A and B are shown apart, each in its own frame.
Chain A
């Protein structure tokens, strides 16, 4: 048994040492630039909307536009190609979030609208929502108590 465990350890070590590595610097740069371009597009929309709407509404409209663009590009099968190239650069912005909801919805549409789209839609985004909302509630509570008892 011991010999077997040793063999297993040795093999896992071998696997680690031979695994092809990703080029972190290149990936970071690609993510930085594509992420930047996506944000630029967002900023352009914000500037455009700011000319006609008050600030609050312009910001909301910008988010809505970016989510639409993310969903639209996912629907026509372009966003996954951007993602393969950009990595985190296209996952982190709000367009990536739209992608993570629309892609399972497209995939599972064939299984019906209730148990397919309805239940599988948040397959990827579900954890983000659960922990994102939980964290925001926690921080909200902390903020509330800090305001109620400012002296402490």
Chain B
């Protein structure tokens, strides 16, 4: 059961169409820190500590934190957790980390190994640009397929079902690593669309459901390019995608006014859009059954230089509320 959540986003996200849904907007990109990596850690730290505050119990009662981000060796997750004094497991799933951490937290809780788990994830535009692309001030053009990494962090409190009417994770479909030979790190939507297709198909097969079962299906951060490709992939199989397939990468920013190219990406894209927007709509009962499929492009700056194609993955979470 996802008992509570807290989302922190940066300035640009706070100006986007979903701005009113986020719990906290930090205007300063540095968040008072001296480097981008520390700033991302601060975002995540705030998301976790505010969630603990909001839920009203002491940090000792949190059994475990599961968290991940985009940086090498999960730097910002480790920076965020070093002041918290709570057992910690780091996870890497690139932009799919949200589903990975929430899904695994549910496995822990369901198996009775822990009572309160915090599943969290973060990403930061500046630290991601620095690691994967060019220096921020370099005057180069972004190709139209490039996506904008979301600055933000989200944390979710996972507890055993206590009878209250909160969204519950009913199924967790772990995806396979796929590789369709796409090498362009500026076109992550195209890299990730097959992973989303594969995981959605397998999830529906496993559970013997179809699109109609869900009120809404949300993909992670395919953006405009990936969303279109996903549609084509389903069309090839003779399936028309229902209208109710949204993409967090498209919802996050306003493409026309915010110059974000093909949409948003990053761990925080799916996590913040789900935590800020869909979670609240589920609590209100607007949506009762959601399938959320965050996708991740598991790329590294050095393997891209070596000319290797980018492996991708997608995990699906089926979340329901009564």
Contact = CB atoms under 8 A, between A and B. Distances in A.
A135 B233 CA distance: 48
Interface string A23-55: 000010000000000000000000000000000
B181 A79 contact: no
Contacts of A106: 135-137
Interface of A: 7-8, 11-12, 14-15, 18-22, 27, 74-75, 77, 79-84, 86-87, 90-91, 96, 99-100, 102-104, 106-108, 110, 123-124
13 contacts: A7-B180, A12-B181, A14-B232, A15-B187, A19-B190, A19-B225, A74-B139, A75-B137, A82-B139, A83-B138, A90-B139, A99-B139, A106-B137
A22 B187 contact: no
A48 B190 CA distance: 52
Contacts of B194: 11
Interface string B224-243: 11001100110000000000
Given A18-B228, A19-B225, A74 B145 contact: no
What size tier do the contact residues of chain B reach?
20 to 34
A125 to B, nearest CB: 10
Contacts of A100: 138
Contact of B137 (A14, A15, A79): A79
B181 A19 contact: no
B118 interface: no
A118 to B, nearest CB: 15
Contacts of A123: 135
A104 B232 CA distance: 40
B225 A104 contact: no
A91 B182 contact: no
Contact of A15 (B143, B229, B259): B229
* Chain A contact residues: helix, strand, loop or mixed: helix
B229 A83 contact: no
Interface of B: 34-35, 130, 134-145, 180-182, 187, 190, 194, 224-225, 228-229, 232-233, 259, 262
Contacts of A103: 134-139
A99 B138 contact: yes
Nearest to B261: A20
A99 B180 contact: no
Contacts of A99: 137-139
B232 A20 contact: no
Given A14-B229, A20-B262, A21-B144, A80 B190 contact: no
B189 to A, nearest CB: 9
A96 B139 contact: yes
B134 A124 contact: yes
Given A8-B181, A12-B180, A18-B232, A124 B135 contact: yes
A116 B307 CA distance: 26
